[in-house]
Amino acid sequence: MAAPDRRPRSRAGLLVTAASPTYTRDFSAKPRLIQHKNEAKAFYAFLSQVYDYIVNPGHWTTDMRKDALSVAQLDSPELKVVDVGGGTGFCTQGIIKAGIPTTNITLIDQSPQQLDKARKKADLQGVTILEGDAEDLPFEADSFDRYVSAGSIEYWPEPQRGICEAYRVLKPDGVACMIGPVHPTHPISRTMADLWMLFPTEEEYIQWFTAAGFTDIQLKRIGPSWYRGVRRHGLIMGCSVTARKPAAGPSPLELGPKAEVSARPNTNPLAFALRVLLGSVGGFWYFLLPIYMFLKNLVWPRTGPLADKF
């Protein structure tokens, strides 16, 4: 009998798989410029001032948020939810709109500037807001019914570790929802993405969740409406992955010490500044790209998909 085909399958916007619990890329070999925790923290000290005005309109709209959270099973006001890497609270606001009361929500992020913005939002009053590390969450095992993280995994030095933490803090039968970027196939966008931060492939998301011990893993593709399905340039918010924790306790995958600690001082200020600068070049590309795609959508015939060329 032939072995079953376990490759990802696309069905009604969902990609469902039982992938191998190993992942393919060696992230230590990547440039990983701004993806280091301290560089990301410095970057967001500035970006937090304009995040809600320049990032969300191009990459993370309210329609996309609703679409991404539609599979997170936020289906009872009794649920306890943690929003990891929640930044200014934009995703948290979507969780509230889904019917979860603020007193049942915890928002955690490593950027004090982002959290200051969140604390000032009237509709987030009552949310528990904490500063902390997605790869080392300050919660007991089996604490939450739902885990949500949007636009955070791209800054994790060890995505597998962060997903194991999602497993640990969830209660048995709890659901994790990871919303994040997808890797570009276009050569220029791929270069810029790798300069800036981690853009996982869809297969890597599935493999990380599988390795962590999750079951019922599904991936839903999302994107701005004006991209009209184009994914070759990668998307900062390109998919929503959901998975279920089958049993109590920590992840069955045991990992060693963390690769990076955000509180650790930088040993080389020049290298630090250079990584931030070059990473910001990649980030600026992804600021311009949605503008280009928006204008292209206005002029390209609406009867078919956008052209496959740049």
Digit-coded pLDDT (tens) for 99-114: 999 999 999 999 999 9
State pLDDT tens for residues 179-200. 999 999 999 999 999 888 889 9
**Beta pairing, strands 144-150 & 170-182:** parallel
| pLDDT score, position 6 | 34
| pLDDT score, position 304 | 66
| pLDDT score, position 23 | 42
Mean pLDDT of 266-282: 78
Measured CA to CA, the distance from residue 59 to residue 197 in angstroms comes to 15
Fold category of 9-247+265-299 in CATH: Rossmann fold (3.40.50)
Q: What are 80's two structure tokens?
A: 């306890």
* Alpha carbon separation from 286 to 20, 105, 280, 289, 290 (Å, rounded): 31, 31, 10, 5, 7
Angle 159-169/202-212 helices, nearest 10 degrees? 50
| pLDDT score, position 1 | 39
Measured CA to CA, the distance from residue 309 to residue 116 in angstroms comes to 42
Mean pLDDT of 66-89: 97
Higher pLDDT, 52 or 124: 124
Tell me which residue of 76, 124, 127 sits closest to 99, measured CA to CA. 76
Whose tokens are 């309109």? That residue is 57
State pLDDT tens for residues 117-161. 999 999 999 999 999 999 999 999 999 999 999 999 998 989 999
Categorize the per-residue pLDDT at 22 as very low, low, confident or very high, splitting at 50, 70 and 90. Answer: very low
pTM assigned to the model: 0.87
Q: Between the ranges 7-21, 43-57, 217-231, where is the mean pLDDT highest?
A: 217-231
| pLDDT score, position 25 | 57
* Alpha carbon separation from 52 to 3, 8, 108, 254 (Å, rounded): 48, 34, 17, 37
